Structure 1
Amino acid sequence: MSRQLVVMRHAKAEQAGPTDFDRPLAERGRLDGAAAGAWLAGEGITPDHALVSAALRTQETWAAVASGAGWSLSPELDRGLYAAGPETALDLVRLVDDRVERLVVIGHNPTMAVLAQVLDDGTGDADVAASMAGDFPTSAVAVFSYDGAWADLGEGTARLEAFHVGRA
């Protein structure tokens, strides 16, 4: 079964908050998140599941992306994704129900950047891979295709189809 996986870093957050976990998005982050959502919708991407870190800035990123894309999907919030390293984040994706065909994951760096790099099987467009390799800034979105069960997703098993940085 062909699946689609979107790996995204949260949008630009305020530098301060009551705690790091509770930092909200900056105004630029809300605008950039909506721009990323509009781009995803323009690419014909409509997820049937979203796995989002429970941190405030990632929740607000999801809200901005969903608004910009016109999606009404409620995300699955995961507190473990907040502090997850790449392997733990991959483990969380592996737990996604196999009925899900199109998944969006929104988390934090460096985890999302490393996850996107390790998933890439190297068979996609070299220019797209090169643009992703340079940086994975806030509102960065990597879109992968993957054939197989989520439980079998591993390093070098997904094809990088697109890379975009949402900017308003």
Structure 2
Amino acid sequence: MLNKTLYIIRHAQAEDSGNSAMLKDFNRNLTGKGISQSARLGSFLVKDSVKIDCFVSSPANRAFQTAKVLLEQYKLDEEQIRLDESLYGGGPRAYLACLNGISDDFNSLAIFGHNPDITFFAEYLTRDDIGGNMKKATVIEIKFENQAWNEISGKTGDLVRRVDVKSIEI
């Protein structure tokens, strides 16, 4: 059985829902800064030779747009992104259910989602301190040794690294 690698990615900067009563949280789009954050994060992962076999995103605009822009850096298009409705507002358990449902044909997975759920999810999976709340456009890499995706649960992973987009040198 091969090792599995999970990349938990919080969406990049999005429009402020406080500016408009008409703007539903689900429909908030990335700002210009958010688009550049997503591209920068994707570019970093490509340059670092990070291979990702499967991409799953919350269907909320800002998460999907983060995934789409990041995938552009891999020269992949948005059809590669699976949408999981439960990742929007479903809580950390929805993230675990998503992860546990991934085929073992894939050895690496990127999940794009929202705080506070993804921070709680990352903390739940690792034996390590993940460094507090995930900022926007942050990726946490977690390795799982000799486990199938459906065997992963609390404290079964090891934190490899946490990369905040602000820390990336261009």
Is TM-score (shorter-chain normalized) higher than 0.5?
Answer: yes
Report the TM-score when normalising by structure 2: 0.87
- The C-alpha deviation readout for 1:90-135, integer Å capped at 9, x for no partner, is 111101111111100000000111111111123xxxxxx4xx4233
User: Who is 1:164 aligned against?
Assistant: 163
* Distance in 2, Cα, partners of 1:63 & 1:145: 24
User: Who is 1:126 aligned against?
Assistant: none
Tell me by how many angstroms 1:19 deviates.
Answer: 1.3
* Distance in 2, Cα, partners of 1:11 & 1:70: 19
Counterpart residue identity of residue 140, structure 1: T
Tell me by how many angstroms 1:69 deviates.
Answer: 3.9
User: Who is 2:5 aligned against?
Assistant: 4
User: Who is 1:20 aligned against?
Assistant: 25
Question: Does 1:40 pair with 2:45?
Answer: yes
The answer to whether the 8 A contact 2:3-2:143 is kept is yes
Tell me by how many angstroms 1:71 deviates.
Answer: 3.8
Question: Does 1:78 pair with 2:84?
Answer: yes
> RMSD of the TM alignment (CA)?
1.6
**Identical-residue share of aligned pairs (%):** 25
Report the TM-score when normalising by structure 1: 0.88
Query: Number of paired residues?
Result: 160
- The C-alpha deviation readout for 1:27-70, integer Å capped at 9, x for no partner, is 11101111111121122212111110011111100011112344
User: Who is 1:120 aligned against?
Assistant: 126
* Distance in 2, Cα, partners of 1:158 & 1:111: 17
Question: Runs of 5+ in structure 1 lacking a partner?
Answer: 123-128
Counterpart residue identity of residue 36, structure 1: L
Question: Does 1:109 pair with 2:108?
Answer: no
The answer to whether the 8 A contact 2:116-2:133 is kept is no
The answer to whether the 8 A contact 2:51-2:108 is kept is yes
The answer to whether the 8 A contact 1:7-1:105 is kept is yes
